[in-house]
């Protein structure tokens, strides 16, 4: 059957009917698919015009000048709102877009080709410095503009060119999507994944515990990897799932910022080297027996950072309080040297701050300490041994502003002071907001052997930092769980052990593989 065009408002059709009607086949054979985002409002017309004008830029330099023009800030904010409309969050929409030969996006009376709107994300990514300058108080805007909207419906952000990516990649790419039936967070992706012929029966009569446990079981057995056990969507305990099986339901809207998992890091971490999982399943598939070794045991932990959803992102006082708590714990076992500051900087950012020059870590920490002097003035928070700011402030500013062009006004001293003050505020806020993304739902830990890392907020003193074969990330396990087994608390960033360094212990005999029975 060939369809000349198809225009469907997803809100008018039950999601279950979309599956039973084999909508994927319909979209594959449609000559064109019309995507209706809704009526014109919240500057949507200006946003789509901005998208057209951005696509007409002749060079990357022109793109950056265009985006950096403050007169267009409202249009870009309109694009943020457009990219956050409900359409983009529906799980079944992924089949519609991934299967379409051609698509046109409509909003009110405006229209724009899907490919043109999708290209906007790439162009805005090229102008990320200009976006950071405009929205330094709202880092989530930048994420929406570069990874939201049409880019959020890309089949897999990890393997964009694969026609049928691995199921775990799809689940990670779309874990924030909404579905009326929580089972559809998995079932809606099976047909466009590499698991279409191996997953088994799509059975809505199964319980959520059965569906999500089977999903994790399937991913582990078909990939020979344990990465799936590290996924953590939220802190809600429901469905009586094993601790190694992720709950794929979308976090509640009042739960605050979502957890930024270690799978976002590029290049990918490889804590267990190139090893494959050595795993088997017990107790009818609800207990995982996996091989690995203990890297160390947690000796001390910092405060858990759980930002309140009621506070605006620009309110950095809670993050600064946790930052100081972590710093105080850190300097209790490490020096205040530039090398140590690099360790601390890499750790609180989960490795996202990566600099060859260790002084750059010190400068970022220095910016955070400078901001806290103002924000936490009068606070009773104990602040120990802050990094020296005598030689880093000006360098930090010059480092960050290397790609920026100041306004060419008369170079009067007071104008320059005002400009420098504005830039300093941006730099300070950018540093703590950047760190806050990875600090979220985590806590600093120091191990008995003085390893430094970030663990899930639920981690405790006495938990074990483990390397499991076939897992890209170190894992926190808790012993003596349910009669002598282990509970998986979640993934961990351990500075200096994210790229297979711990595996050398197996070669030199200092580490020995053992089994962990994880409930």
Of 125-129, 299-303, 406-410, 433-437, the poorest mean pLDDT is in 406-410
pLDDT value of position 399: 37
Percent above pLDDT 90 for the chain = 67
Between 199 and 29, the more confident residue is: 199
Q: What is the pLDDT of residue 354?
A: 92
Task: Give yes or no for a contact between 423 and 445, defined as CB atoms under 8 angstroms apart.
Answer: no
Q: What is the pLDDT of residue 394?
A: 38
Query: For residues 410 and 497, which has the higher predicted lDDT (pLDDT)?
Result: 497
pLDDT band (50, 70, 90) for residue 466 = very high
pLDDT of residue 8: 44
Pair 228, 195: CB distance under 8 Å: no
Q: Tell me, what's the pLDDT at 401?
A: 31
Confidence (pLDDT) at 381: 64
Return left, alpha or beta for 200; rule: phi > 0 is left, psi -120 to 50 is alpha, else beta: left
State how far the Cα of 463 lies from the Cα of 516, in Å rounded to an integer.
Answer: 14
If one compares 34 and 185, the residue with the highest pLDDT of the two is 185
Closest CA to 46 of 71, 17, 21, 12: 71
DSSP 269: P
Q: What is the pTM of this model?
A: 0.85
Q: How confident is the model at residue 411 (pLDDT cuts 50, 70, 90)?
A: very low
Average pLDDT over residues 177-185: 93
Give the pLDDT confidence of 246-270 residue by residue, as tens digits. 999 987 776 667 889 999 999 999 9
Omega within 30 of 0 (cis) for the link into 267: yes
Work out the mean pLDDT of the chain and round it to a whole number: 86
Interval 53-58 mean pLDDT: 96
Residue 302 confidence (pLDDT): 97
Q: What pLDDT score does 31 carry?
A: 63
């Amino acid at each position: 059957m060939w369809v000349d065009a198809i225009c469907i408002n997803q809100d008018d059709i039950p999601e279950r009917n979309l599956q039973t009607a084999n909508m994927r086949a319909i979209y594959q054979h449609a000559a064109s698919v019309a995507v209706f985002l809704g009526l014109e409002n919240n500057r949507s017309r200006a946003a789509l015009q901005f998208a057209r004008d951005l696509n007409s830029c002749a060079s990357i330099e022109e793109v950056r000048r265009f985006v950096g023009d403050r007169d267009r800030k409202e249009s870009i904010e309109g694009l943020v709102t457009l990219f956050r409309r409900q359409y983009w969050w529906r799980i079944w929409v992924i089949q519609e877009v991934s299967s379409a030969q051609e698509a046109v996006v409509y909003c009110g009376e405006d229209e724009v080709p899907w490919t043109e709107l999708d290209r906007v994300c790439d162009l805005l990514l090229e102008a990320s410095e200009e976006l950071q300058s405009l929205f330094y108080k709202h880092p989530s805007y930048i994420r929406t503009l570069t990874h939201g909207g049409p880019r959020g419906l890309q089949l897999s952000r990890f393997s964009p060119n694969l026609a049928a990516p691995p199921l775990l990649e799809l689940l990670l790419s779309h874990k924030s999507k909404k579905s009326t039936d929580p089972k559809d967070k998995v079932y809606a992706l099976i047909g466009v994944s590499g698991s279409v012929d191996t997953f088994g029966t799509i059975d809505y009569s199964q319980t959520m515990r059965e569906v999500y446990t089977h999903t994790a079981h399937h991913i582990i057995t078909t990939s020979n990897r344990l990465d799936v056990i590290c996924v953590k969507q939220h802190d809600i305990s429901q469905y009586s799932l094993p601790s190694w099986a992720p709950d794929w339901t979308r976090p509640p809207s009042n739960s605050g910022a979502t957890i930024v998992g270690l799978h976002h890091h590029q290049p990918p971490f490889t804590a267990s080297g190139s090893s494959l999982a050595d795993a088997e399943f017990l107790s009818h598939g609800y207990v995982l027996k996996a091989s690995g070794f203990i890297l160390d045991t947690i000796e001390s932990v910092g405060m858990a950072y759980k930002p309140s959803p009621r506070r605006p992102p620009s309110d950095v006082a809670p993050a600064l309080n946790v930052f100081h708590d972590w710093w105080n714990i850190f300097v209790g076992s490490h020096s205040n040297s530039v090398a140590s500051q690099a360790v601390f900087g890499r750790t609180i950012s989960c490795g996202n701050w990566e600099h060859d020059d260790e002084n750059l870590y010190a400068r970022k920490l220095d910016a955070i300490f400078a901001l806290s002097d103002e924000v936490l003035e009068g606070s009773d928070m104990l602040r120990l041994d802050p990094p020296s700011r005598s030689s880093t402030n000006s360098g930090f500013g010059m480092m960050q502003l290397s790609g920026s062009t100041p306004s060419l006004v008369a170079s009067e001293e007071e104008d320059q002071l005002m400009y420098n003050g504005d830039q300093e505020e941006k730099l300070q806020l950018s540093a703590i907001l950047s760190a806050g993304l990875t600090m979220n739902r985590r806590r600093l830990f120091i191990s008995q052997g003085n390893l430094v890392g970030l663990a899930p907020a639920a981690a405790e003193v006495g938990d074990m930092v483990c390397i499991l074969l076939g897992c890209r990330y170190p894992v926190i396990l808790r012993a003596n769980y349910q009669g002598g087994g282990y509970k998986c608390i979640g993934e961990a960033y351990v500075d200096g052990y994210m790229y297979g360094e711990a595996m050398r212990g197996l070669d030199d005999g200092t580490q020995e593989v053992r089994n962990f029975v994880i409930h």
